[in-house]
Chains A and B, each alone.
Chain A
Amino acid sequence: EVQLVESGGGMVQPGGSLRLSCEASGFTFSSYWMSWVRQAPGKGPEWVASIKQDGNEKYYVDSVKGRFTISRDNAKKTLYLEMNSLRAEDTAVYYCAKKASGYDFPFEYWGQGALVTVSS
């Protein structure tokens, strides 16, 4: 059974930093693209970032470029999102998602989410 468990969420002041982690199990982690998707309160999902199997390709939504960094440790089967210079508009539930292989790589499995609140 595929499981994705996020951790590291919480409340932080504007300008602060947080690191989210996502522990994966039930599949060969090193064989799949992985992503972070966030959802602000009352809004639809917004893709944040994706990383290739070996970590050598990364893509970000424009609004987080230069502030967020996606990374992975295949030995630990863990995905990370380092978030710096946080803004109020980054407040959201952050989901870790496993991408399917092929077929334009849909978000096949999602974690339960980690809430990040940016507020003074």
Chain B
Amino acid sequence: SSELTQDPAVSVALGQTVRITCQGDSLRSYYASWYQQKPGQAPVLVIYAKNYRPSGIPDRFSGSSSGNTASLTITGAQAEDEADYYCNSRDRSGNHIREVFGAGTRVTVL
């Protein structure tokens, strides 16, 4: 089971703003990363280290974080932003490092 909690689904009108949240204790110590996945494709990194965008990711994607909650915001959502979005962070127990993912949020653009 995921130790990062995400809302299962959210919808947004074309051109409007949507925020997706991710909650978990690991986020108090480690940065969240966000991935976009479209059907039949591999995930793509869209935000990392709170609010860095890899090359090629539109600036309508932004991230923020506070306490145990990280957020991904799409400002001016486009039809091509309809996808599943997953958050991820590291976690550490003693000397053991692991990675955790949220169960994902499906974004529908109306």
Residue of B nearest to A35 (CB): B99
- A14 contacts the other chain (CB 8 A): no
| Cα distance A35–B98 in the bound complex, in angstroms | 11
Q: Which of A85-120 touch B at CB < 8 Å?
A: 95, 100, 103-113
Complex Cα gap A37–B96 (Å): 17
Residues A104 and B49 in contact, CB atoms below 8 Å apart: yes
Residues of B within 8 A of A45 (CB): 35, 43, 86, 88, 101
- Select one of A47, A103, A108 contacting B101, CB under 8 A: A47
Interface string of B12-29 (1 = CB under 8 A from A): 000000000000000000
Q: How far is the CA of A98 from the CA of B31 in the complex (A)?
A: 17
Decide: A100 near B97, CB < 8 A? Known: A45-B43, A107-B35, A112-B42: no
Which residues of chain B come closer than 8 Å to A61, judged between CB atoms? 98
> Nearest Cβ distance between residue A57 and chain B, in whole angstroms?
8
Q: Assuming A95-B42, A104-B49, A107-B33, is B89 touching A59 (CB within 8 A)?
A: no
Taking the nearest CB of chain A, how far is it from the CB of B20, in angstroms?
13
B interface majority secondary structure: strand
* Known A106-B88, A113-B42: A47·B98 in contact at CB below 8 Å: yes
Are B90 and A110 in contact (CB-based, < 8 A)? Answer: no
State the Cβ distance, B101 to closest chain A Cβ, in Å.
5
Interface size on A, residues (CB 8 A): 23
Shortest Cβ distance from B92 into A: residue: A59
Q: Give min CB distance, A106 to chain B, whole Å.
A: 4
B103 interface residue, CB < 8 Å from A?
A: yes
Cβ of A59: which chain B residues have Cβ within 8 Å of it? 96-98
Q: A41 on the interface (CB 8 Å rule)?
A: no
9 residue pairs bridging A and B, Cβ less than 8 Å apart: A37-B99, A44-B102, A45-B43, A47-B98, A95-B42, A103-B49, A104-B49, A108-B48, A110-B43
- Using a CB–CB cutoff of 8 Å, the interface residues on chain A facing chain B are 35, 37, 43-47, 50, 59, 61, 95, 100, 103-113
